[in-house]
Structure 1
Amino acid sequence: MFRKVITTDYPFSPPTPAPRYHGRHILNRHPDGLEKCIGCELCAWACPADAIYVEGGDNTDEQRFSPGERYAKIYQINYTRCIFCGLCIEACPTRSLTMSNEFELARDSRQDLIFTKEQLLAPLLEGMEQPPHPMRLGETDKDYYLGALTNPGTSAGAERAPWSTNAAEDATGGAA
């Protein structure tokens, strides 16, 4: 009651959201353009509002969308149901799903609030190639996820994962 009234000129000077604001989701990509999403559907299982629908597909050597065996063939988020809780972000094993600061999601029709994979994918940056294409950052999917990105293109020169404690364990597959 005794505070100064704050009036913003919203459409002309929108407010800057906090850095950790939960806004629209983004499906991230690897530096070569392949999708990080592996179609595991853990985000859909974690969603308390049942706002996420994922249908996985299998990668082939001719059609490769992600470094692993699978990719998200269909990925949809229904923003009429989403409560922006962030549980889907925590459930993602590959860190492919993140939330942006975009908060302007109003649409004229409810159908427009169901975002598809094409709308959610991060844009291609310079040096990225539109999938499907072969893996460029290593020979296996482990090169993508276990630290070989510091030395792209070589699986032999890949650094050990930061959680690995013993070089002998790495060489023998865990049995020292």
Structure 2
Amino acid sequence: MLSLTAKRWTTTTTTTATKTSSLRLNNSRAFRSSPRNQLAHQAPVKEIDPIPAPTQTPDLPPFHFGAPSSSKDQVEPPEFNYKDPDYKPIVYKDYSNGPSALDKAAKLFFLTEIARGMWVVLGQMFRPPYTIMYPFEKGPVSPRFRGEHALRRYASGEERCIACKLCEAICPAQAITIESETREDGSRRTTRYDIDMTKCIYCGFCQEACPVDAIVESQNTEYSTETREELLYNKEKLLANGDRMESEIAANLHADHVYR
């Protein structure tokens, strides 16, 4: 009984679904087939301009693919035959096969290559020399040249250094060491003034910082030594350098004072 009822219910449901699908298909076809909907789904038609009527072409001469039929139709090319009256062609010798036998004989018998070199030597004999005989001759040196250090004195013999220690403070290589004490008259003077020349970078800051021009760099470059200890300058060594080169140092400072 239950199986018969289930079969009837299934058959009724299938029939209802089939009828519903057929109804939807018919409605869709009817909607598409209506004239109004057909116009709505069609693409807009562009209006095409009418083709103008052909006009009468002018009478043109026939085009010739070959040679012109007459001299009237022939076009002459422009003339580019300008010639410079001063033009002279350059004629080069033919060395495609190497130098000629005459050139080889001239170099062999007349020694042209040696004569050319001797001519250069002869010309240099009457010119001033380009070199100097160092160390007997020395070239010019700028007054601003920074060489060996020196401590200066006043004309009375008193040392110029006032132990302000500005040179020690400004030295970027920390090559200067200064110790000072106060004298009986109240002035302050150095008891130790050492420069390690192996550390010095010759920047000239010590000379620029000194307010009394006590420490200077001379133009002397000939102070090579055999040991490192000889490049550790003390106060006595620096004062001895200043006494020996005082005239030269004073002249250089006077020549450079305009720019300082």
User: TM-score, normalized by length of structure 1?
Assistant: 0.58
The runs of 5 or more residues in structure 2 that have no matched partner are: 1-129, 246-260
Partners of 1:53 and 1:27 lie apart in 2 by 14
Q: CA RMSD in A?
A: 2.1
Aligned with 2:212 (options 91, 94, 110):
94
Aligned with 2:162 (options 35, 38, 56):
38
The match for 1:25 is: 149
Aligned with 2:233 (options 112, 115, 140):
115
Higher strand share: 1
The runs of 5 or more residues in structure 1 that have no matched partner are: 1-5, 62-67, 126-176
State whether structure 2 residue 170 is matched by structure 1 residue 50. Answer: no
Instruction: Letter of the 2:154 partner, please give it.
Output: H
- SS for the counterpart of 2:202 is coil
Partners of 2:208 and 2:199 lie apart in 1 by 18
Count of residue pairs the alignment pairs up? 114
Instruction: Letter of the 1:34 partner, please give it.
Output: E
User: TM-score, normalized by length of structure 2?
Assistant: 0.41
- TM superposition shift of 1:8: 4.6
Which structure has the higher relative contact order (CA within 8 Å, separation 6+)? 1
Kindly provide the CA deviation profile for residues 58-94 of structure 1, in whole angstroms up to 9, marking residues without a partner as x: 1124xxxxxx621111011111111111101111122
- SS for the counterpart of 1:123 is helix
Identity %: 40
Instruction: Letter of the 2:243 partner, please give it.
Output: P
- TM superposition shift of 1:105: 2.1
Instruction: Letter of the 1:117 partner, please give it.
Output: K
- TM superposition shift of 1:15: 3.3
Are the equivalent residues in 2 in contact too, given 1:41–1:56 (CA < 8 A)? no
Kindly provide the CA deviation profile for residues 100-154 of structure 1, in whole angstroms up to 9, marking residues without a partner as x: 11111210001000111111112289xxxxxxxxxxxxxxxxxxxxxxxxxxxxx
Distance 1:115 1:19, change over 3 A: same
